[in-house]
Amino acid sequence: MYPYARLATLLLLLLLALSGCAKQTAKAPDEAAATPDNASPLPPEAEVKPAPVSGLPAAVPPVVEAPQPATPPAVPVVPEQATKQALDPKPARTAAMVPPRSEPVEPSPDAPAKARPDAAPAPGAQTPAAAKGKAKSDGPAVAVVGDSLAVGVGMTMEARLNKAGNVGCRPMGKISTGLISKKKYDWDKELAELLARERISTVVVVLGGNDANNAIAGKAAGTPEWNTAYADKAERFLRIAADAHVQVLWVGLPAMKEAAYSKRVAAVNAAAKTACSKVTGCTYMEASDIFTDEAGNYVQAKTIDGKTVSLRAGDGVHMTMTGYDLLCRRVLDKLDQTGGRPRQ
């Protein structure tokens, strides 16, 4: 019986020891949260459980970004606006643009007097024109009037007379002019004003190339009616010089390349010759032989001093500068014969 008593005692002690360990384990979580003054022990059978969740967790509030400045809506550009923007002048990078060399530049008011074309020469000083010869500005001059053929004759004559220095020249040829049509240029009026304004010794006329293509009262050049009417116009023109006591040298037109046109030009020459014979102080000069062969046919070039030189332009109407110079020399020789070239 004694051994059983000892075994019961051991079991009792073991139960007491296990009961103490359970109390220590249950008390440890509460001691961590409670203070030493108000901590109360939990019963051994109490079990710590998490608090029940009654609903979903609260949502995280959205992040509110700072408001951005509003961008104005793009305005579509219509084609007209785009074109206007492209064509609007842009400000220049430089203060002024240099004018092209072909355009005259107005002299600055601050420029010295010698650089200004309108500045008066100093006392006793001579202008370039006066240095070449006072005959050109003060003495009598030879005026060359007419159409585009007169332009070439006037240029070469001016160069020759300026070089001689004894008489001046007034080249006054105007392209596309004549005695029939006065819409562009009135030769009667211009000649009268010229003779009243300047000292002219002789008027050289090279005219009729355009008149040969213009009808008079519906009649073409070469018809009797046209020939008579044109001779009257030429005579009226020549009498303007005769009334001013100025000599006239009418230069006949050369043969033309086109046969039909050359015939009309011949009618002009015949009418001018008739008119010139009726006016005192007028001399008619034939010049066609310079530009034709021995048979009187049109030639483009001739052999002069062993060299073949071109005398006529490609249009078969006008002349090269060599041709104009040959005609000018013939005119000057004729003026010497008639006394129309003044000598000083």
Could you tell me the CATH number of the domain that includes residue 185? 3.40.50.1110
Let me know if residue 74 belongs to a domain. Answer: no
Q: What is the mean pLDDT of residues 223-243?
A: 98
| Domain ranges, residue 234 | 135-288+320-338
What's the rounded Cα separation, in Å, for the pair 326 and 314? 18
Q: Is the dihedral of CA 144, 147, 153, 155 positive or negative?
A: positive
Which of 48-62, 148-162, 220-234 has the weakest average pLDDT? 48-62
What's the rounded Cα separation, in Å, for the pair 261 and 269? 13
Q: What residues pair up with 284 in beta bridges, in sequence order?
A: 250
Instruction: Report pLDDT for 238.
Output: 98
What's the rounded Cα separation, in Å, for the pair 330 and 11? 170
Model confidence band, residue 163 (pLDDT cutoffs 50, 70, 90): confident
Let me know if residue 232 belongs to a domain. Answer: yes
Let me know if residue 57 belongs to a domain. Answer: no
Instruction: Report pLDDT for 157.
Output: 95
Let me know if residue 53 belongs to a domain. Answer: no
In the chain, alpha helices (H): 2-33, 79-87, 128-132, 148-164, 187-197, 224-243, 259-277, 321-338
Let me know if residue 176 belongs to a domain. Answer: yes
> What pTM, to 2 d.p., does this model score?
0.61
Q: Does 12 score more than 90 pLDDT?
A: no
Let me know if residue 197 belongs to a domain. Answer: yes
Model confidence band, residue 67 (pLDDT cutoffs 50, 70, 90): low
Let me know if residue 262 belongs to a domain. Answer: yes
Total domains present in the chain: 1
Return the DSSP state at 280. T
Q: What is the mean pLDDT of residues 262-275?
A: 98
Q: Are 199 and 139 in contact (CB under 8 A)?
A: yes
